[in-house]
Chain A
Amino acid sequence: MSVIFPSLNWFEELRNRFNSNQRDNQVGVGTCDALVGVACGEKLFTVQFEAFECTNVMELEDESALENTDFYLELHPNDWKDMIINIKENNGAGLSFTLNTLDLELSDGLAKSWTEDQYRQDLFFRFNQTFQYFFDASADVETVFEEMDIA
């Protein structure tokens, strides 16, 4: 069954797959406690990680709610699409599409902080492998992309 990106449904699919332990790529991970925002065009979400699980995903009404996140990941919708397609093709992000690479490659970066608290933004680095596995789990999801009105 295909799922639209970006949508709450898509993140719920990811959460279920991430929590299911079916993917056996668990090197360098451990407990992870972080509230991560995701911004794709007008659509905003939060992904809550607690201990060994992704415990909650939510869609946000208003971008000021990003204030509560430790950091948020923001990409142009086309860049999200490229990343997700690459993950699907490689069964996990290829050399040019890991979260860290996108963060450094794109001029505006990927991981951002609403509060400019670097200690909290550094969670992106501390738990990077966990977040990578989370998005890599999308390799198992049939994603279709919402045609967005992109300026």
Chain B
Amino acid sequence: MTISKEELDLAPAVREFGEDNNLDLSWLDTRGEWGVRAEPSKRGLTLGDIQLGSYGEPGDHSDNMTGRPRGARARNDAYRVGGYKIRSKADIWLSNAHVLYEESLQRQWSSATDVPWNTIKPLPDDIERAQCQLATFLTEVEFVAAEVPGRWLAATTPDYFEPRMFLISQVMDESRHLDVFRKRAFANGGGLMQRPNVTTSGTVGSIDLSNDFTEMSSRLHITGEGSVLTIFRMGELMAYNEAEKTIYRLAAQDEARHVAFGVMHLRYLAETEPERKEEIHCYLDEGEGALVAGNQNPASRDTAQSEALAILLGGGEKNFDEGYRKLMAVRKRQAREYVQRVRSAGFGERFENGRANQELLAYTR
């Protein structure tokens, strides 16, 4: 809603005072759209509630290199403080980044006080070692998961601040994940185990080599975090106490948000720049290869992490086979969820035209 010019001229006394005292009050007239009145909804006053008029949805391209807040009046002498590489909307946008951002703020939790640490009691040695191996792996994974989106923050124009702020919330989430798994490793007489030989090299390392945001997002949010979500869910399944149960359940909520960001971004890109779909399929080809190769996916096979998971799922070393069977059942779920997510993102044709990784598809059956 906009207020008339007469209503706007609300400061005649101030102007008079300014003229009498030789003050420059020209700034009073330089502003963006005025008279905006955002109303809180039953969710509070959300970013969605302030997407109003010219402050609402940004254009398809942004020439804003000065850090000007979206909708504010430009100043011609402003320095070009931002070397923003992300200035095309389709490169980073999604229809609901503002929703996911608010969701993230509300669902934050504290690893110090929200986890009932006192419920952790001494565990059999093989179980404790397996927990610590998994915690070591996840501590490293979460470090990467914070670092990667972090690189794109300063590269994004302020006109696309909603996805940018979601990524900031993701960096916070990943920091908390790092700290909570580190705390778990030290909470019960264990410690960190050997760092995995596959985490920050190979496919996971290559996420960070992406020069394009969508390339990064398809690797990080869809293939990478899609499988981490499965690991967290498994972690909750095989928890030995309320503390572990809580850690994994809360971390899984966070992770599902990160995955949702990726799905919705891919969907936006598929709808607005279908000419890029072939390129995105190439990233998915690589991601699927990694999902079955096992070096980024501990739910795969023959890594320290997959053995740790099998021991935890089976309830100890002597039940390794039973644990491994459970692990494979979960892996089937993981593969199915991946397929349905990619479909939901608008890239389902790869599962009809023979392009998708056949080994991965075999897991879904």
Which A positions have Cβ atoms within 8 angstroms of B? 27-31, 50-52, 95, 98, 100-101, 103-105, 107, 109, 113, 116-122, 125-129, 132
> Who on chain B is nearest to A126 by CB?
B256
Contact B260 A29 (CB under 8 A): no
Which has the most chain A C-beta neighbours within 10 Å: B107, B337, B345? Answer: B107
B149–chain A nearest beta-carbon distance, Å: 18
Which residues of the partner chain B approach A132 to less than 8 Å between Cβ atoms?
A: 249
Q: Does B102 contact A (CB under 8 A)?
A: yes
Which residues of the partner chain B approach A103 to less than 8 Å between Cβ atoms?
A: 233
Q: Does B114 contact A (CB under 8 A)?
A: yes
Which residues of the partner chain B approach A29 to less than 8 Å between Cβ atoms?
A: 106-107
Contact B229 A125 (CB under 8 A): yes
Task: Give 14 new A-B contacts, CB below 8 A, not counting A101-B236, A122-B341.
Answer: A27-B109, A29-B106, A30-B105, A31-B103, A95-B245, A98-B245, A100-B233, A101-B237, A104-B330, A121-B337, A122-B259, A125-B229, A129-B249, A129-B253
Contact B249 A98 (CB under 8 A): yes
Which residues of the partner chain A approach B260 to less than 8 Å between Cβ atoms?
A: 119, 122, 126
* Interchain Cβ contacts under 8 Å between A and B, 28 examples: A27-B246, A28-B107, A28-B108, A28-B114, A30-B105, A30-B106, A30-B107, A31-B106, A51-B43, A100-B233, A100-B236, A100-B237, A100-B249, A101-B236, A116-B343, A118-B337, A118-B340, A119-B260, A119-B345, A122-B259, A122-B260, A122-B263, A125-B233, A125-B256, A126-B103, A126-B257, A128-B253, A129-B107
- In the assembly, what is the distance between CA of A126 and CA of B107, in Å? 10
Which residues of the partner chain A approach B234 to less than 8 Å between Cβ atoms?
A: 104
10 nearest interchain CB pairs? A30-B106, A118-B340, A125-B256, A126-B256, A119-B344, A118-B341, A51-B42, A28-B109, A27-B114, A104-B237
Q: Does B148 contact A (CB under 8 A)?
A: no
> Who on chain B is nearest to A30 by CB?
B106
Contact A28 B253 (CB under 8 A): yes
Segment 234-270 of B: residues with Cβ below 8 Å from A: 234, 236-237, 239-242, 245-246, 249-250, 252-253, 255-257, 259-260, 263-264, 267
Which has the most chain B C-beta neighbours within 10 Å: A51, A100, A116? Answer: A100
- In the assembly, what is the distance between CA of A123 and CA of B239, in Å? 22
Contact A121 B340 (CB under 8 A): yes
Q: Does B68 contact A (CB under 8 A)?
A: no
Which residues of the partner chain B approach A129 to less than 8 Å between Cβ atoms?
A: 107, 249-250, 253
Which residues of the partner chain A approach B109 to less than 8 Å between Cβ atoms?
A: 27-28
- In the assembly, what is the distance between CA of A107 and CA of B337, in Å? 15
B282–chain A nearest beta-carbon distance, Å: 22
- In the assembly, what is the distance between CA of A28 and CA of B264, in Å? 23
> Who on chain B is nearest to A125 by CB?
B256
Q: Does B333 contact A (CB under 8 A)?
A: yes
A125 touching B263 in the complex, CB below 8 Å, given contacts A104-B234, A104-B330: no
B293–chain A nearest beta-carbon distance, Å: 23
Contact of A109 among B245, B333, B343 (CB under 8 A): B333
